[in-house]
Structure 1
């Protein structure tokens, strides 16, 4: 089904590309984004863009803190970094648009309506997530199932939102479960169809049905009360945010495509495979540069380190260090774009891509002159690991483990 989805997307891209080519006027696809105002610039530049613009290639140029354009050609890598950075900011609970459940999944914050233009922001974030799935960009986020299922038009008749309360509001779930199995007279509990909530330090009462605070709950309708309360907590109070987010997502991802998948499968489309990394698959699809090759001693040490020394969690950290996501693409590393690349750290960042004979020769001469004090570094936008040519495997293990746990990242060496 993932391959079928990709086939649908490729056909859609071809159709959009042909329509753009037939237009007499130029459609803008190049945007300058300031690092210091990344989310704001992204929202201002793309929120009003047409669906055709979103579905076609979008070129990004980053402007640094000095106001200068950063060097680099956007061959998917820079755009991937842009999508991941915007997503990271948007879903950060400190941004006040999303909250975290007890099992660390994300859903729209009920108090996000305090944020200016919050509905437009949710629509924009939905488009960003849709674009990521459309372009097979893996994101390191996990959405709450009760929120994610609204992206799927096909309804599950066996689903009960009451079950989701266990992770969203454990106290409420426990109380409702008590009421469900209560043998006494429920009216003695003095419940009404309303709920009191602490909103920024102020106690607010909300009706879960019209005039609910004046309607008592009885033994005859306690199941209705439990259902209404569950729906309110998981949907009603954030339904506007959900609708705008879903509308944005469907700007790129057609409902009939998404309806092929279940909620857990849709989460995998967003964040990749949750199982341990398939190192054999990674080896098969890796690209070597700067003098490295699959039989080079340092490369052999690297694979031995990942297989024998690193735990599953450390392998996930390694993958996140290089690609910014701890999970592999659903169709394996052959689907990673740009491909997973390992380059000798001495290789110049300003040389042309690829491995000319001269470049390989220069790096083979200098490859043994690496200082063992240097740390590995990465360019996650290009899925690139820059690995020094260490003298021993022990040094490689220690340096790599330190780098992935310190999240050394770009150019820290």
Structure 2
């Protein structure tokens, strides 16, 4: 792997660098400033209607679909949430009770309210001078799109206003971005077989992609920690660490801490017991290749390694092994400052 500076990525890949690569590609690809995706009012992502202005946009959507499929296949949890009307197209099994009109509430609230007004309008709808077309601002230019063939020349009446609402809803949630959806879906299903995906509902598929969006369960994490290098659950530094995570860190900082160690800001789908290798905290100076077991020599070396650790050093990590290498700091305040700096540095494998 090559980093953005053109240098070989530090570290030997044992899925850690690979996970970081997948997550970074997804993060940049779904960034709205890249013009491939937009954000709905409830902060979910869907293909941008003007992404067709981007060169090779269908190739890019196909590629991103493959990357997302690979992430789901490898159980790599991602920090993205996709719009339900977009996710729905990844599932071949159709929900007969689904109405795309309901999704408009989150995609375009003004349009949703207008269509809802038309739906309950008791007077003659033709007086509103509506046609089967919509005007959209495309990079500062007002463009008229037909939602059915020659729609701008067809007036809406009381007899067909429900058809108009349905057609407009389909246009905004699918027709306008159908090419992007098709390319993305084909890429995704290259890695994920349709029969696998069809077992899940839309919310379940979202959970497969991004895990739980709730705060990290620290009690679950505590119960599944492995300590090395002389650390144990009653060691002062470990006690300080849990106090800092619980009392000093915000929810966002806890997510950064988890990302710093595991390369993912969200907990594993099946909890921390399923993390492989397990989440491990080791004294920074402990040997990378020390023998297993509580031998007298190992205990003696652990005591020495803790005593010689410098308070000037930052915590570091090996995301390949879900390993936090933590110096034995002299005070809680030093630990707080060093840990906060480390998780916010975003230096990946280069931090030491």
SS of 1:386's equivalent?
strand
Conserved in 2, the CA contact under 8 Å of 1:76 and 1:337?
A: no
Runs of at least 5 residues in structure 1 that lack an aligned partner in the other structure = 1-61
Q: Name the CA shift for 1:379/1:186 in 2 (closer, same or farther; >3 Å).
A: farther
Q: 1:376 to 1:71 in 2, by over 3 A?
A: closer
For the structure 1 residues 165 and 352, does the alpha-carbon distance in structure 2 shift closer, same or farther, using more than 3 Å as the test? farther
Output the CA distance in 2 between the equivalents of 1:123 and 1:231.
22
After superposition, the Cα gap between the structure-2 partners of 1:171 and 1:342, relative to the gap in structure 1 and judged at 3 Å, is: same
Contact kept in structure 1, 2:23 and 2:78, CA below 8 Å: yes
Distance in 2 (alpha carbons) for counterparts of 1:234 and 1:77: 37
Q: Is the 8 A contact 1:186 1:219 kept in 2?
A: yes
Q: Within 1, Cα distance between the matches of 2:293 and 2:57?
A: 44
What is the distance in 1 between the residues matched to 2:78 and 2:118? 40
Q: Label 1:358 to 1:145 Cα distance change in 2 as closer, same or farther (>3 A).
A: farther
**What is the CA distance between 1:345 and its match in structure 2?**
3.2
Identify which range, 208-217 or 302-311, moves more after superposition.
302-311
Q: Higher mean Cα deviation, 344-353 or 219-228?
A: 344-353
SS of the aligned residue for 1:183 comes to coil
Distance 1:147 1:359, change over 3 A: farther
User: 8 Å contact 1:130–1:253 — kept in the other structure?
Assistant: yes
Deviates more, 1:121-130 or 1:275-284: 275-284
> Residues 337 and 113 of structure 1: is their aligned pair in 2 closer, same or farther, counting only changes over 3 Å?
farther
User: In the TM superposition, what whole-angstrom CA distance separates every residue of 1:341-370 from its partner, at most 9, and x where no partner exists?
Assistant: 323334578999999997875553132344
User: Which SS does the other structure have where 2:191 is aligned?
Assistant: coil
Task: From the superposition, tell whether residues 381 and 212 of structure 1 become closer, same or farther in structure 2 (CA, over 3 Å).
Answer: farther
Shift of the 304–66 alpha-carbon distance from structure 1 to 2, 3 Å rule, reads: closer
- Per-residue CA deviations over 1:76-119 (Å, capped at 9, x if unaligned) read 11211111111112111122211111111111111111122211
In the alignment, what sits opposite 1:349?
A: 288
Instruction: Output the CA distance in 1 between the equivalents of 2:293 and 2:214.
Output: 32
Give the 3-state SS of the residue equivalent to 1:63 in structure 2.
coil
Q: Is the 8 A contact 2:16 2:263 kept in 1?
A: no
2:226 and 2:130 mapped to 1: Cα distance? 64
Paired residue total: 352
* Alpha-carbon spacing, 1:377–1:102, altered in 2? closer, same or farther (3 Å): farther
SS at match of 1:390: coil
Structure 1 contact 140–324 (Cα < 8 Å) conserved: no
Given that 1:76 and 1:338 are in contact with CA atoms closer than 8 Å, whether structure 2 keeps it comes out as no
Query: CA distance change for structure 1 residues 66 and 170 in 2, over 3 Å: closer, same or farther?
Result: closer
Change beyond 3 A, Cα 1:378–1:179: farther
Change (3 A) 1:77 1:324: closer
Corresponding residue SS for 1:251: helix
By relative contact order (CA 8 Å, sep 6+), the higher-ranking structure is 2
Q: Which of 89, 95, 99 is equivalent to 1:150?
A: 89
Counterpart-to-counterpart distance in 1, 2:29 and 2:251: 28
> Once the 2 structures are TM-superposed, how far is the Cα of residue 211 of structure 1 from its aligned partner?
0.4
SS in 1 for 2:350: coil
- Deviation of 1:205 after TM superposition, in Å, equals 0.6
- The 3-state SS of whatever aligns with 2:349 is coil
| Aligned-partner Cα distance in 2 for 1:93–1:155 | 29
Deviations 1:44-70 (A, max 9, x none): xxxxxxxxxxxxxxxxxx134675534
Q: 1:355 to 1:405 in 2, by over 3 A?
A: farther
The alpha-carbon deviation at position 278 of structure 1 amounts to 2.6
TM-score by length of 2: 0.88
Q: Deviations over 1:231-276 (max 9, x none)?
A: 1111111111111111111112112211221111111111112333
Unaligned runs of 5+ in 2: none
- Please tell me the root mean square deviation across aligned C-alpha atoms, in Å: 3.0
CA distance in 2, matches of 1:65, 1:352: 37
Shift of 1:178: 1.5
**Normalising to structure 1: TM-score of the pair?**
0.76
Closer/same/farther in 2, CA of residues 316 and 215 from structure 1, 3 Å limit? same
Distance 1:405 1:167, change over 3 A: farther
Distance 1:316 1:378, change over 3 A: same
For the residues of structure 1 that align with 2:239 and 2:209, how far apart are their CA atoms?
32
